[in-house]
Structures are given as C-alpha cells and as structure tokens.
Structure 1
Amino acid sequence: MSESVELPAGLPADASPGRPQTGRRLAWRRRHPVLLFAMRRCLVTIPILAVMTLFVFMLVHLVPGDPVTTMLGPHATEENIAATRLQMGLDRPLHTQYVEWITGLVHGDLGTDLLRNTPVSQLLMNHLPVTLELAILASLIGVTVGVSLGLLAASRPGLLRRMTLGLSTIGLSIPYFWLGLMLALVFGGLLQVLPSSGYVAFTDDPVEHFRHLILPVLALGLGQAAYLTKVTQGIVEAFLNSPPSDFLRAKGLTRGQILFKHSLRQASAPIVTIIGIDLGTLLGGAIITETIFGLPGLGNLVVTAIAQRNYTVVQGTILVISTIFVLTVLLTDIIVARLDPRALEGRS
C-alpha cells in the first residue's frame, strides 16, 4: 500500500515539491500582461542603448578635422599640439577612449567641452529645456490640429473633406527648414507681427517668451498635424463605414457619440504611436529650426560644436537626443499596449 505524501505548507495542492509552479506563474502573467510586456521591452532597450553609444562614439571620431588644432588655432606648434593631445587623452587608441567614455557615462560624466573647459552635462542642462519645450509645444499643436481636422474630414464628406486632405498633402510635402524660412520671411520680415529670431526666457518676460516661440513651433508642428490628419481621417472613416458603427446607430447612438467616443478609441493607439515616433523627428527637426530662429537649444549647440570640431559636445548632444528618442519609443510601446491588447502579441 502506497503512503500519502504531505505537501509542504504554501505549495498548491496540484504541485509537487520538485516541480516549478507554472500555474501560479501563468496566472501572474495573465493578471499583469502590460507589466510583463514593459519588462521585456526594457530588456530589449538596454542593448539598443549600448549599441547606440558605440555608434555615436565612432561616428563622431570618424568626422574629418582635428579638435586640438581648432582649439589652439592654425599657428600652434607641433609641440603644443602633441602636449595638448596627450593632456586630453586623444593619443590613446579608440577602444581605450571608448571604455573611458562609457565609464564616465555610468557615473554621469559626459566629458568636458574642449573649448570652454566646461562639463558637457552642464551645457546640455542649459540648452535642453529650450529644445524640449519647442518639441512638446510643436507636438501639442500637431495633435490638436491634426486630430481635429481628421475628425472633421471623416465626419463631413464632400468639399470640406477634399480641402482638408489637400491641405494635409501640402503640409506633408513641405520640409521643416523651408516652412521655417517662409514663416520668418512673411511674419517676421514682411508683416513684422512676430519676431523672426531670438529668444527671451520665460522668467524675464512670459509674453515675449511665447511670441518668440510661435513661428518655430508652427514650423515643426504643422508637418505632424498634416500626417495626423490623414491617419485620423482614414481610421475614423473606416470605422464609420464598418458593421460595428451600424450596430451602434441601430442602438440609438447619435453620430457625434459614435464619432467622439467609439471612433477616437479605435484611433487612439495609432495616434499615440505617431506622437511617440514624431517626437524623435521633432527633436531632429529642432536642430535646423533652432538654427533658423536663433534659439539657444540643443540644435544650435550641436551645429556650433560641429563647426568647431568640438567632438565631446557633439557626441554628448547626439547621445542625449538619441536616448530621449529611444526612451520615448519605449514609453509609446507601453502606452499602446495598454490601449490595444493586440500589441501584447504583436498583432496591432
């Protein structure tokens, strides 16, 4: 006769001491699918950031030009150039410089500006708020205008729809720099109703602060608005012509309720995805826009550093912009997974 085995306390009745508790793990995964998805995406992001640091380091160091010669001037002697190169560690192999740079990154040290003898992290903290404000305001303009025009074009077919889609097509065809130049020429030069360049801190004069940001924000935000108009119009129009929309109308819901409550829910995940990806595009577009309008952001900083062959500032700025983009995409994936469960299985 076989003897009964008493299970240890806390172990489920259908599990044995030597068998992993797969049932409990499976139940946890089913209760927290978004958290599990976020953990997986974070694990994938770590090697992406590591490869990105190597790419940024090699790209900057392969750019022609000698930062030491630029810093000391064309009349510097070979002895001074060699001594400065030795002092800055530029005489070491690239892999040694990369390891030292990564070690500094782990401790929050992005290096030192070769020309100003200032920590790069301090320079970035001084210029980053301007670029972030510009990108966020441009994104708000793009989302507000794009989603509104997309809903309008989908809900009112006819001449208004054709005009809206025509304007969005034109907006997609115009590059940031050309639109920025035209806005500065018309509103800042011909009409003289808005400043075409310069920057005023918010603490100095809030009204002038936003007046100086209107043109660069429009130059960046209208492109995103045009893209969101097309995407929103396509998704909402497809839902309004689908059987679920007919079922909602049969239940007595008005067209406005279907449009703003159910159609927007269908378009929420694609809109969030576009916003997240376009935020990185806006950060890249800010490099040109800040140069056109004379804003003291990261774009202006990196353009000046490239002209000076100041590679520590260049690689630090590019690394920060790239990291913000990667983290924005990570956050976007998590939000989309929360809005659309199909994203957890890669089907959305």
Structure 2
Amino acid sequence: MIAFLLRRLGAGIILVFAVSTLTFFLTALAGSDPARRILGNNASADQVAAKNAELGLDQPTMVRYVDWLTSALHGDLGTSWANNQPVTTLLTQALPVSLSIVTAAVVLTALVSIALGVVAAIRGGWLDKVLQAISVIAFAVPNFLVGIVLAVVFAVQLQMFPALGYVNFADDPGGWLASITLPSVALAIGAIGTVATQTRGSMIDVLQKDFIRTLRSRGIPARSVLLKHALRNAAPASLTVLSLQFIALLGGAVIIEKVFALTGIGGRAAGAAGQGDVPVVLGVVVVMVVLVVIVNLMVDIALGFLNPKVRAS
C-alpha cells in the first residue's frame, strides 16, 4: 500500500510541476504588456520601463522562472500586480469559499446520485425511465440558470436562505451552512445526473454477475447482498466519475460565485485574467492543480481499499 501511495504522490508532484511550468511560459509568451496595462495608455515610455523593472519583467524569462519556482517551493507565490497584496493571502481568503460550495456539492452529488442509481437499477420499469429522464434534464440545464431560479424562489420569495454573500464557518456555522446551500445545490444538480447514470449502469452490470446469484442462492439477505457486495463492486466506477465531477465543479464554481456574489478562487482567477495579473493567475493554477492531485489521491486510496487489484496496477 505504501508503494502504491508513493507512486500516486510522485505522479501528482510531476503533474503540478509540469502544469505550473507550462502556464508560466505561456503567460510569458503571451505578448501582453502588463506595465502598460497597469499604468494606463497615458504613461510615458520611461514610466513603463520603470514599472517593468519594478515587476522584474526586464529580466530574461528563464531567470524569472527560476526566481518564481524557488519562491513557490518556499510557499511564496509572489505579489499581485493589481493591488500589491501577497498572492497567498488573496488565495487563502478565496479558497475556503470555493472549497465550501464545491465540497458540499460533491457530498450532495454522492448521496443523491447513489440513491437514485441504486433505486433505478433495482426497480427498473417506469421508475428507471423517469429517473433517467430527470438525470438528462438536470445535466442539460446550465447551473447558472438553476442558481438564478433557486435564488429567486428560496432567497427572494421564500426568504429561506440568503441570496448573496458568504459567512465564515468560524464566525457562524449556521450562517455558513445557509450561505453555501443554494450555490452548492445549483452546482450539484448537473453532476447528480451524470453520477447517477454511471451508478445505475454499474449496479446493473454487477447485479448480473454470477457471484451475486450465488450469494442470493445461499440465502444471504437481499439488503446485505445489495449494500455489502453489489454496491461495493459498483463503487469504483462511480468514484472515478465523481472525482472527474469535482474538477468540473471547480470550473463551474466560477459562474455560480458570480450569481451569488461570492469571492472564491474562480472569481479571483477571472479577475486576474482580465487584469493581466500573472502572479495571481499562476497562483490559482498551482492551487487548482494541487487540489486535483489531492482529490485524485484520495480516490485512488479509496479504490485501493475497494479493489486490491488497483494497488498493483
């Protein structure tokens, strides 16, 4: 198991290095003029040159890359060109917002989609068709439209949840839960359709296996066969799809954060890209890739426990 984890961790470290390096050089070769963008079109050539020197843009690209990489390895992702704040501070403030709504959406997706998938696989018939139709519709409807509808109905009309803003968990756990409920549900709706469909298909395949018929013939209770054996064997495929959905939800959170006026990692990334704030863009990329690596590592660990063959692959 240790060797299995070390292989996955090593692959994750290589991925973080490769993606961050590629992003750095792509931003360096973009041909934009950050100093001119910051100072405005009325700035003189001398002012632009001085700003480039201040930002370190007068140095060769490789020198700047080595400096950035060395600082990043020590936990320093640089300083924002737009507001002169440390990038780590900006991301530390934004990350809890995005992680809260995405994690809640993933948990909600897992619970609802597994229940729907298992019921559809067992019952079949008209119920299976209805659940499949609901899954397709949920996947097809844009999450920002779902978010707007939820905000209008549950926040504006019924006033059950706040329409805008985010409350820190440490300040008010109840307020925190209320502030992330609607964004999380809006994110989860589309993911539920995908994971439920995958769970249904996996459960149908497993329930047709010979070992399931053998267990039933031995008089083992149906609930035990379903939950202890069938669901466990169907779980790896669903877990894989769920991990992919986590990555998709991180991207989808950008729009949802705009709908509910949340300052998350997606909003930071969009704002930094529009301002040409390269240090923040690089910081967001590094953080996002690290999150993806961590989630994939957790999924690999879960798959390793569910299926010992995975540890040897």
**How high is the TM-score relative to the length of structure 1?**
0.83
Do residues 335 (structure 1) and 295 (structure 2) align?
A: no
2:122 to 142, 155, 162: 155
Match of 2:147 in 1: 180
Shift in CA distance, 248/229, structure 1 to aligned 2, threshold 3 Å? same
1:98 to 52, 57, 65: 65
Match of 2:79 in 1: 112
In 2: Cα distance, 1:258 partner to 1:200 partner: 43
State the secondary structure of the residue aligned to 2:76. Answer: coil
| Structure showing greater Rg | 1
Letter in 2 for 1:180: G
Shift of 1:345: 4.2
In 2: Cα distance, 1:232 partner to 1:127 partner: 33
1:302 to 244, 269, 276: 269
Q: Is the 8 A contact 1:143 1:224 kept in 2?
A: no
Shift in CA distance, 78/203, structure 1 to aligned 2, threshold 3 Å? same
Shift of 1:336: 1.1
Do residues 267 (structure 1) and 234 (structure 2) align?
A: yes
- Structure 1: 5+ residue runs without aligned partners? 1-33
In 2: Cα distance, 1:147 partner to 1:282 partner: 18
Shift of 1:203: 4.0
Letter in 2 for 1:258: V
- Structure 2: 5+ residue runs without aligned partners? none
Deviations 1:226-265 (A, max 9, x none): 1221111112122223322221111112322211221111
Q: How many pairs are equivalent?
A: 313
Deviations 1:22-64 (A, max 9, x none): xxxxxxxxxxxx2222222223333222211111212333446
Do residues 287 (structure 1) and 242 (structure 2) align?
A: no
1:207-246 equivalent positions in 2, closer than 5 A:
207-246=174-213
In 2: Cα distance, 1:74 partner to 1:187 partner: 46
In 1: Cα distance, 2:31 partner to 2:263 partner: 26
Letter in 2 for 1:95: M
Shift of 1:103: 0.9
1:37-48 equivalent positions in 2, closer than 5 A:
37-48=4-15
Match of 1:170 in 2: 137
In 2: Cα distance, 1:197 partner to 1:65 partner: 35
Shift of 1:170: 1.5
Do residues 312 (structure 1) and 279 (structure 2) align?
A: yes
Worse-superposed segment, 306-315 or 58-67: 58-67
Q: Is the 8 A contact 1:188 1:196 kept in 2?
A: yes
Q: Give the CA RMSD over aligned residues.
A: 2.0
Match of 1:74 in 2: 41
In 1: Cα distance, 2:94 partner to 2:297 partner: 24
1:129-148 equivalent positions in 2, closer than 5 A:
129-148=96-115
State the secondary structure of the residue aligned to 2:124. Answer: coil
**Identity among equivalent pairs (%):** 34
State the secondary structure of the residue aligned to 1:221. Answer: helix
In 2: Cα distance, 1:325 partner to 1:92 partner: 32
State the secondary structure of the residue aligned to 2:83. Answer: coil
Q: Is the 8 A contact 1:151 1:236 kept in 2?
A: yes
State the secondary structure of the residue aligned to 2:232. Answer: helix
1:196 to 159, 163, 184: 163
In 1: Cα distance, 2:10 partner to 2:48 partner: 44
State the secondary structure of the residue aligned to 1:75. Answer: coil
**How high is the TM-score relative to the length of structure 2?**
0.92
Q: Is the 8 A contact 1:294 1:300 kept in 2?
A: no
In 1: Cα distance, 2:118 partner to 2:77 partner: 45
Letter in 2 for 1:244: F
In 2: Cα distance, 1:180 partner to 1:311 partner: 30
